[in-house]
């Protein structure tokens, strides 16, 4: 398996633009997580899905952020409109069977909002 795939790897956009980050989990994994990593706040869990259903989105910072998982092999994290403070590395991770199992992380998307 290729592991968790994220695209794009780097994204530079201007304030106010819509940004869509994409993730393909490992095939067969039931759980998918979205994280944000910044120097100031460290690594934060934004939202996670179980069998394509959002379970906990309490980490989503505000209404500008939304995440979807239309099927077992694809998820998106959208920011609209984007702001400079959204600049961060966004990680997607997936795990098998249980939320407590090992999470396999993707390489991350480095987002820069100018």
Residues near another protein (CB under 8 A) are: 33, 42-45, 55-56, 89, 91, 93, 99-100, 102-103, 105, 107-108
Instruction: Report, in Å, the least distance between residue 104 CB and another protein.
Output: 8
Residue carrying structure tokens 């490992």: 26
The residue among 15 and 99 lying less far from another protein, judged by its C-beta, is: 99
Give whichever of 74 and 105 is closer to another protein, judged by the CB atom: 105
Contacts of 2 (CB under 8 A, 6+ apart): none
- Write down the least CB distance from residue 12 to another protein, Å: 17
Pick from 84, 94, 106: which is nearest to 12 by CA? 84
**How far apart, in whole angstroms, are the C-alpha atoms of residue 25 and residue 62?**
24
Residue 64 beta carbon to another protein: minimum distance, rounded to whole angstroms: 22
The alpha carbons of the chain give a radius of gyration, in whole angstroms, of 13
Give min distance, CB of 41 to another protein, in A: 9
Tokens 């910072």 locate to: 61
Looking up tokens 């959204």 gives 86
Nearer to another protein, 8 or 16 (CB): 8
Residue number, 65 or 91, with CB nearest to another protein: 91
């Amino acid at each position: 398996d290729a592991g968790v795939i994220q695209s794009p790897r780097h994204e530079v956009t201007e304030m106010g633009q819509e940004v869509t980050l994409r993730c393909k989990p490992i095939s067969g994994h039931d759980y998918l997580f979205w994280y944000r990593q910044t120097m100031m706040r460290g690594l934060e869990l934004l939202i996670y899905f179980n069998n394509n259903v959002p379970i906990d989105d309490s980490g989503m910072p505000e209404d500008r952020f939304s995440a979807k998982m239309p099927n077992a092999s694809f998820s998106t994290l959208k920011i609209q409109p984007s702001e400079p403070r959204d600049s961060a590395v966004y990680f997607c991770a997936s795990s098998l069977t249980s939320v407590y199992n090992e999470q396999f992380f993707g390489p991350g998307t480095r987002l820069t909002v100018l």
